[in-house]
Amino acid sequence: MILEKLHTTHEEPIQYAFADGTSLNERIGTEILLQYTGNIVCRKCAKSTNKSFGEGFCYQCFLSAPEASPCILHPELCEAHLGKGRDLAYEEKNHNQPHYVYLAATDQVKVGVTRVTQMPTRWIDQGAREAIILAETPNRYLAGVLEVALKEMYSDKTNWQNMLRDIKNESVELAQEKWELLEQLPADLGQYFTEDEMVYTFNYPVLAYPEKVASLTLDKEPRIQGKLTGIRGQYLYIDHYLVLNIRRHTGYEVEWK
């Protein structure tokens, strides 16, 4: 099996499956085995590569594929609205489309950007416990500009260790946080603010949250065996405190039992 980002369904709790449809929720509480074969396949060109770059690309595709362009991490660099990019058809389909700017809560409130059609998948992938839509823009570039304007107040990164330990600030009220931001938005960006107060909540299938976590990688631990004790974001919990980021290992070939 070639690893890809886990597929998710927003249910109670979140449902997880491998790309081939194999359910993971039903395996929680049971022994699992992931054996890395040593083979890595590029997610773009499907060729074997000695090293994975940018979540699943060979080096050449990392430099040329639209899925690995700089604006993936930095939306404010997007030029799709100008008719520019690594692949114009891809840019038009994925980036020159409506995007949300959102607030999400894990251990703290963070700001983020996602294509409208990626909601709520994006929030689940980052392990958010709550999220609210702040603004809707006509393209990725404007969403990125708005996100940058808010970075002085909010981080755009998730503290993965705190998220996996379920450290949270119970005093956070996302709807209130959203309305307090309205007066602080730049005048030219305030027009994209939405009045939607819907707060999305997410419950992850985790038997018990650990007090500490230790990260596993298949490069250092090619054979990972133990009890699957939970899933959050794109991480598997093994024996409660060991965690494996499946998305980080996109393209790795494994035997799964």
Q: Per-residue pLDDT tens for 120-149?
A: 999 999 999 999 999 999 999 999 999 999
| pLDDT tens for each residue of 194-247 | 999 999 999 999 999 999 999 999 999 999 999 999 999 999 999 999 999 999
Give the pLDDT score at 248. Answer: 96
Alpha carbons 155 and 143: distance in angstroms, whole number: 15
The structure tokens listed for 229 are 């004790």
pLDDT band per the 50, 70, 90 thresholds, residue 79:
very high
* Secondary structure element (H or E) that encloses residue 16, with its range: strand 15-17
Specify burial of residue 220 (Cβ count, 10 A radius: 0-12, 13-18, 19+).
exposed
What is residue 199's predicted lDDT score, i.e. its pLDDT? 96
What are 141-195's pLDDT values in tens digits?
A: 999 999 999 988 888 888 999 999 999 988 889 999 999 888 888 888 889 999 9
Q: Which runs of consecutive H residues, i.e. helices, occur in 30-186? A: 59-64, 88-94, 121-125, 140-150, 160-164, 174-182
Q: What pLDDT, on a 0 to 100 scale, did the predictor assign at position 119?
A: 93
- 3-state DSSP assignment of residue 12: coil
How confident is residue 250, by pLDDT bands cut at 50, 70 and 90? very high
Average pLDDT of the residues of the chain: 95
Residue 155 vs residues 102, 110, 135, 205: alpha-carbon distances, Å = 12, 5, 17, 26
- Residue 61's alpha-carbon distances to 87, 166, 223, 233, in angstroms, are 12, 36, 28, 26
3-state helix, strand, coil in the chain (%, to 5): 25, 30, 45
Residue for token pair 């119970």: 170
Q: What is the pLDDT of residue 29?
A: 97
- Beta strand spans in 180-232 (E): 199-201, 214-216, 223-232
Distance from C-alpha of 230 to C-alpha of 206, rounded to nearest angstrom? 4
pLDDT score for 257: 93
Instruction: Give dist(CA 71, CA 79) in Å, integer.
Output: 8
pLDDT computed for residue 153 by the predictor: 87
At CA 125, angle to CA 7 and CA 117, rounded to 5? 75
